[in-house]
Structure 1
């Protein structure tokens, strides 16, 4: 069995960190401090720092390595999204009418959706070409992500302006028909191709003979 590169395990741990750490914090929170919106805002900030560290690591990898890593990461993210969505459906939860949830099972589903949507948006924006290729293998990926982006925007008291901008850019990145005329993905860096100086074609310069020349027309 082939050994997986160390950075791949770092990625998988970062992707799963929203599940493991959130569960640990919520278990402790149920005994000591309840996970109120104010408490979760601070936890989300910590999670976003983890996401930033992950992206910075990925930016140091080559195309092939990132493709494999993103295939695993996005697949795991979509599994979490699907499970969380099912929980909210079973509980008949609505962010508009219910607000930030109190029940632990629903609370976990909501927070995981927020965190994984932010992480997926980061990956899509920083690596648009690879992400598009990976996501095309996932059925109804665009519909799912659009739903998640809308879902996160229902928590203005939880997300900050940076996340709002992230959501807006991610929405425009995956929906070309929704892009504003001045849309620019600030994280996308085109591969600069070194310009090879082109040789100018050798043009033979006709030497003009000195002295009288024959006229092209016969003089009468």
Structure 2
């Protein structure tokens, strides 16, 4: 009788084990699909946010006075530093790994969004107002350290849109985090404008000298007489 009961329960146990495994696989699949949908929505909202940020940077550039721009950049850099610092703590305590599955926890998502948005914002400010931003970052070393960390972190998430990825790459070159492309020039830098003007002037001057030299090398108007 005992052997018969055991025989009856073996198929049931096998079925229950298989059923539980299928259920777990379905849950994992649904969880993955849910994370993918959440990531898609997240990236769509991030692109919209980037449009708003670029408009804000344009407004910053339109400020008529240098002092007002300087004060605004300080306020932005300080705010960005504080937000990224607190968000970094949240992400590290959650165990989130950039580039891994999109986080399910709303607080973790908010922290991730804060870092991506604020890093991009300060990046835009740096590229458009490089002289002011470099001066501020040089005076606040901890801001620079945090900014450099966030740039690397954002690249690892693989959540940024192509335009922002390109912009962040330019920011990394501007900060000398990565080697600069030979053709890299930030047109918003004052010394870059001066260098461009000087370079153009030198090229024109060199071209004129070369042209004159070529003229001298040419044949003379009259050949020397050989019958004297």
Query: Which bracket does the TM-score occupy, shorter chain normalised?
Result: 0.5 to 0.7
- Contact 2:88/2:111 (<8 A) preserved: yes
CA distance in 2: counterparts of 1:45 and 1:176, whole angstroms? 25
CA distance in 1: counterparts of 2:193 and 2:66, whole angstroms? 11
Aligned pair in 2 of structure 1 residues 37, 176: CA closer, same or farther (>3 Å)? closer
Aligned pair in 2 of structure 1 residues 187, 38: CA closer, same or farther (>3 Å)? farther
Kindly report which structure 2 residues correspond to 1:160-199, keeping only aligned pairs within 5 A, or say none: 160-175=161-176, 178-188=179-189
1:53 aligns with 55
Q: Specify the SS of the correspondent of 2:75.
A: helix
1:113 is displaced (CA, Å) by 0.4
1:187 is displaced (CA, Å) by 4.7
Could you list the structure 1 runs, at least 4 aligned residues long, displaced by more than 4 angstroms after superposition: 186-192
Q: CA RMSD in A?
A: 2.4
1:74 aligns with 77
Of 38-47 and 176-185, deviating more is 176-185
- The reply to whether residue 84 of structure 1 matches residue 84 of structure 2 is no
Q: 1:129 aligns with which of 110, 128, 131?
A: 131
1:42 is displaced (CA, Å) by 1.5
1:149 is displaced (CA, Å) by 1.1
CA distance in 2: counterparts of 1:185 and 1:191, whole angstroms? 9
TM-score normalised by length of structure 2: 0.63
CA distance in 1: counterparts of 2:137 and 2:78, whole angstroms? 9
1:59 is displaced (CA, Å) by 1.2
Of 75-84 and 41-50, deviating more is 41-50
Structure that is richer in helix per residue: 2
Which structure would you say has the larger Rg? 2
- Contact 1:142/1:174 (<8 A) preserved: no
1:120 is displaced (CA, Å) by 0.7
Aligned pair in 2 of structure 1 residues 146, 99: CA closer, same or farther (>3 Å)? farther
TM-score normalised by length of structure 1: 0.65
Q: 1:151 aligns with which of 150, 153, 166?
A: 153
> What runs of 5+ residues in structure 1 fail to find an aligned partner?
1-32, 193-220
Could you report, residue by residue, the CA deviation over 1:102-140 in whole angstroms, capped at 9, with x for unpaired residues? Answer: 111111111110000100100010000000111123233
> What runs of 5+ residues in structure 2 fail to find an aligned partner?
1-33, 195-228
Q: Specify the SS of the correspondent of 2:141.
A: coil
- The reply to whether residue 39 of structure 1 matches residue 41 of structure 2 is yes
- Contact 1:123/1:131 (<8 A) preserved: yes
CA distance in 2: counterparts of 1:43 and 1:137, whole angstroms? 34
1:25 aligns with none
Could you report, residue by residue, the CA deviation over 1:75-102 in whole angstroms, capped at 9, with x for unpaired residues? Answer: 0010000000111122222114x43211
